[in-house]
Amino acid sequence: MKKLLVLIGFLSLGFAVNAQQELLLSQQYFSRINKNPAGIGNVEDVDLFLLGHYQYAGVEDAPKTLLFNAQTFISQINSGVGITFSHDNLGITRSFTNAKLVYSYGLRINDEMLVSLGLSMGILGTSFNVDEYIFDDDTEWPDLGFEESEDYDKHVRFDMDFGAEFTFRENLLVGFSMTHLTNGESMTLKTGRHFYWYARYLFNINDKWDIAPMLTYMHHEKTNILEVNVTAFYDRFIWGGLTWHPDMSDKFGTNPLAITLGAEYKRFRLGYTFDYSFGNVSRLAGTSHEVMLSYSIERKKTSSAASQEDFFE
């Protein structure tokens, strides 16, 4: 009976999961090429980025995400290249695996302004297997509209993303992207198009302190999620921030609030996010955890390499 209650809980969340189909990650701004291929930036070091996200801690079969990005910039051709791999287990029966090659081209307008256009292509694998979830009592099987014998399917599809970014000095960043361009409406085994808009401004308070407010908006079919983030950096060594990302489509009924702490030592960067959900979903599960680890491999700089350092890369 306990497992049935968990399943009922997830079915009550089904509208949000089915509509969105992509989990929002609180530390995504450090490496965002899986959401926007134009976000490689213009730093020539090789950046390796690993992130794990565990949603609704304490709930059986809760959604989990694993993300790996690798990226670098080649100044001789004003281009960024990278790879991205992600696996989203959306709980109980459904999972998505996405692997793509990423390319971006940087068009420098002047010494202070840069426009980047990016394209990524790869595969999107989806699976749906109700039989992976075994009930203690077969009589607990709910009426989901299909037979248990026809519960398994897998699909692999071509996948493509497009994005653009505009940067002014190291302060202003504005971006837009469309993911899963080749897909239309979302279905159980098909992730539809997602649209992202974001803007961030870095305020240099003094020699030690920087503050970076960021606004992100995601639209997918009937789902509209707003994310408001403020992060403070001390000596570009340690940082802490707050993120609020309510579901606007639910009349702000779901209001997750995340606290992020992190540090950078030499070429290593480590971050942790604790996410607590207020509102409707908090009756089922309250907390999520996210751990980020990245490492930057130094490459020999060329004379044409960009001089600015963007620690959001």
**Tens digit of pLDDT for each residue in 212-239?**
999 999 888 777 888 899 999 999 899 9
pLDDT at position 192 over 90: no
Kindly list the domain boundaries of the chain, sorted by start residue.
Answer: 2-297
Asked if residue 118 lies in contact with residue 69, where contact means CB atoms within 8 angstroms, the answer is: no
Closest CA to 55 of 286, 292, 270: 286
pLDDT at position 141 over 80: no
**3-class secondary structure, 26:** coil
Task: Give the Cα separation of 36 and 118 in Å (integer).
Answer: 7
pTM exceeds 0.75 for this model: yes
pLDDT at position 9 over 50: no
Give the percent of the chain with pLDDT over 70: 68
| More reliable by pLDDT, 177 or 41 | 177
Residue 45: CB partners within 8 Å, gap ≥ 6? Answer: 72, 267, 296, 297, 298, 299
pLDDT at position 152 over 90: no
Asked if residue 248 lies in contact with residue 227, where contact means CB atoms within 8 angstroms, the answer is: no
| More reliable by pLDDT, 249 or 65 | 65
Mean of the per-residue pLDDT values for the chain?
A: 78
Q: What are phi and psi of 70, to 5 degrees?
A: -135, 130
pLDDT at position 125 over 50: yes
Residue 201's pLDDT is 95
Residue 14's pLDDT is 40
**Tens digit of pLDDT for each residue in 22-48?**
656 667 778 899 999 999 877 789 999
* CATH number for the domain whose boundaries are 2-297: 2.40.160.60
Residue 284's pLDDT is 53
State the residue for tokens 């999107």: 124
Give the N- to C-terminal CA distance of the chain in Å, as an integer.
47
Other beta carbons within 10 angstroms of residue 124's beta carbon come to: 22
Residue 176's pLDDT is 95
**Tens digit of pLDDT for each residue in 263-303?**
999 899 999 999 887 766 555 555 788 999 999 998 876 54
Residue 253's pLDDT is 62
| More reliable by pLDDT, 183 or 75 | 75
| pLDDT (mean) for 165-186 | 87
Give the percent of the chain with pLDDT over 90: 42
Asked if residue 16 lies in contact with residue 246, where contact means CB atoms within 8 angstroms, the answer is: no
Residue 262's pLDDT is 95
How far, in whole angstroms, is CA 125 from its chain's centroid? 17
pLDDT at position 134 over 60: no
Residue 170's pLDDT is 83
